Structure 1
Amino acid sequence: MRTKLLHVRANVKELDRAIKWYKDVLGFSVGGSWPPENPNYVHFEHESGAMFALMEHKNYPTPGRFNFYVDDVDSLWERLKNKAEVVEELFSTAYGSRKFTIVDLDGNELGFVQG
């Protein structure tokens, strides 16, 4: 399988505290947040390469998430859904993509996204 790693997410205990650190210490700028009504996720502005994001995670500390972009997420879902622990079943997002998330043997979240 060929993939393109475009999105890496670190899980954090307190999102607002983490955002402040990334902004004040590293000079990052928030590029977007989700969900709009009560964000628990932000990603930072970037030029190219992988997008870096933070998510306040109820089970902190947990591994982060690596989102791989693929050409045919539906076929990949059919191939993998019974071979790994599923975190999120295949669904269409509000921002126009389709994705699902599984975990590897060590609990790392692997997202597969199209669109």
Structure 2
Amino acid sequence: MSMNPHETGPQIGPVFFDRRELDPILKVYGRMVAQGEWRDYAMAGHKDFAEFAVFRRTGDAPAYRIEKRPALQTRQGQWAVIGEGGQVLRRGRDLPQVLRVFDARRFQVVE
């Protein structure tokens, strides 16, 4: 039995992010906090996916969710950025490319 963590097989336990995945996510998060756009985050590991949710204000619904769904890796890609209304803003196999959705947008809080 091989113990290679990069082999695909049945997932045991919750899906979560590893350090190489969290680094670019936290870099984007830090940039958006510095710009005053985001104020809080939450991470959760579920049976089929991991989620990094960002909030404009503590207690609000998530403004954006970054999801990792390993089962979709060979299809449309395991990474997705999902907007407030549940719409998929970008999906792909390459996390840094998917996170570029935040580079192209000018965020404004509408009161």
Q: Does the pair score TM above 0.5?
A: no
Higher relative contact order (CA 8 A, sep 6+): 1
Which structure: greater helix fraction? 2
